[in-house]
Amino acid sequence: MKFLFVVQGEGRGHLTQAITLEDTLLRSGHEVVEMLVGKSESRRLPGFFTRSVHAPVKQFVSPNFLPTPANKHVNITRSVLYNVMKVPEYLSSMHYINSRIKSTGADMVINFYELLTGLTYFFYRPSAPQVCIGHQYLFLHKDFELPNKHKFGMKLLNLFTRITALGAKEHLALSFRPMRDDDKNRIKVVPPLLRSDVFRQETSEGNYIHGYMVNSGFSECVMRWHEAHPETHLRFFWDRWEEAPVKKIDETLSFYQLDDVEFLRQMSGCRAYASTAGFESVCEAMYLGKPLMMVPAHIEQECNAYDAMRSSAGIVDDDFNLSKLLQFADNYKPDKRFKAWANSAGYMIVNELENLVSDVFMPNMYMVEEFI
């Protein structure tokens, strides 16, 4: 079968999920004909993605959230105004996505939480079935517990998630733990899609804290803590592309450009991990048995952090107070059940996609046979 991926390009989570699913599908005898990745003025496609995938990569202009001038938390008002001004470009992107679905002859479209995919299906109605995949679809599950705060923001987040999935045949909801499927909402709960490199890591407990910040403005918080605790070694990854590959502040603090091979190597040897609560890196830390601190940058990451806390993965803070992380690390015991759950992802997801393709195409085959 031929699959076409449409991937939200913000952060690293959806990109690494796309890499993993392509590899899994190829090993199962299928083909990924193309990867369409959303881009914007504030995003840059990481080199690890283009180096890792086999399918041709094409980009289109896509909506995104803008950080505040301090470049830390997302500013909703600025984001809405910015994206309204870009509507003509987004309309052009939807036309482009539809044309690529048709011209590639894809049997199925896999949507990695890209808003314009849902809108393309709403306006253009492509014939190839769409399947949505991401942790965010778990928030729509009838049994999922959302944080008991920011209720209006949660409603907006779920509205956004529903728009990404307009026209979808099914939602594959990535989860930290097994849950029953929600058939009414067409939600299938599946394990996280971790890259094969994660499974090959040899873990050890080093003397440094590893970290990742999707918004590099959080570096100010890290540097303030570092000034008060210069004896603790810190190695943080950020998205400040204009800087050198490694910016060494002093003997115990360095900032790294995002490189997935180096990122995982550093994570496997760290004492503890701190991040802005992206689903993918939280799962990697859980798989490698690392205690973690989550500092959400927006409401979606607050949901990730809340869900991870319920799975006893780590703690939540609002300002990278790494002293709390070190205290948590002293008594942390990893949940070994998570490894078994994550290891089953490839089989479960490919099996589900193959069953969906059969459900879509078998009735048409029967109709052809009856006609003949």
**Cβ contact 19:52 at 8 Å:** yes
Look up the domain containing 226 and give its range. Answer: 197-335
Regarding whether 253 and 183 lie in a shared domain, the answer is no
Distance, in Å, from the CA atom of 238 to the CA atom of 242, rounded to the nearest integer, reads 11
Within this chain, do residues 362 and 329 fall inside the same structural domain, yes or no? Answer: no
List helix spans (H) across the chain: 13-27, 47-52, 76-85, 87-104, 115-124, 151-164, 196-200, 219-228, 260-268, 279-287, 299-310, 322-330, 337-343, 345-371
Residues 82, 65: one domain?
yes
My answer on whether 41 and 172 are in the same domain is yes
196: tokens are 């094969």
Residues 325, 184 within the same domain: no
Mark whether 24 and 86 lie in a shared domain.
yes
Same domain, 34 and 160: yes
In this structure, are residues 195 and 20 in contact, taking their beta carbons and an 8 Å threshold?
Answer: yes
CA 18 to chain centroid, in Å, comes to 9
pLDDT digits (tens, 9 = 90+) for 122-136: 999 999 999 999 999
d(CA 59, CA 307): 32
43, 283, 308, 323, 336 from 20: Cα distances, Å: 21, 14, 21, 34, 22
Instruction: Indicate whether 131 and 272 sit together in one domain.
Output: no
Residues 6+ apart with CB under 8 A from 196: 20, 23
Question: CB–CB of 12/260 below 8 Å?
Answer: yes
Counting the structural domains of the chain, the total is 2
pLDDT of residue 371: 42
In terms of domains, do 101 and 218 share one? no
Task: Give me the pLDDT at residue 154, please.
Answer: 86
Judge if pTM exceeds 0.85. Answer: yes
Mean pLDDT by 10 residues, the chain (372 residues): 94 89 96 94 79 96 66 55 79 98 97 97 97 96 85 87 97 96 96 94 95 81 95 92 89 91 94 93 95 90 90 90 96 91 95 86 49 45
Query: According to the model, what pLDDT value does residue 222 have?
Result: 93
69 and 152: one domain?
Answer: yes
CATH number (domain holding residue 278):
3.40.50.2000
Bridge-based pairing of strands 2-7 and 187-190 is unpaired
**352 with 255, same domain?**
no
Q: Are 313 and 176 in contact (CB under 8 A)?
A: yes
Same domain, 210 and 184: no
Q: Could you report the per-residue pLDDT of 9-52, keeping only the tens digit for each?
A: 876 789 999 999 999 999 999 999 999 999 877 667 888 899 99
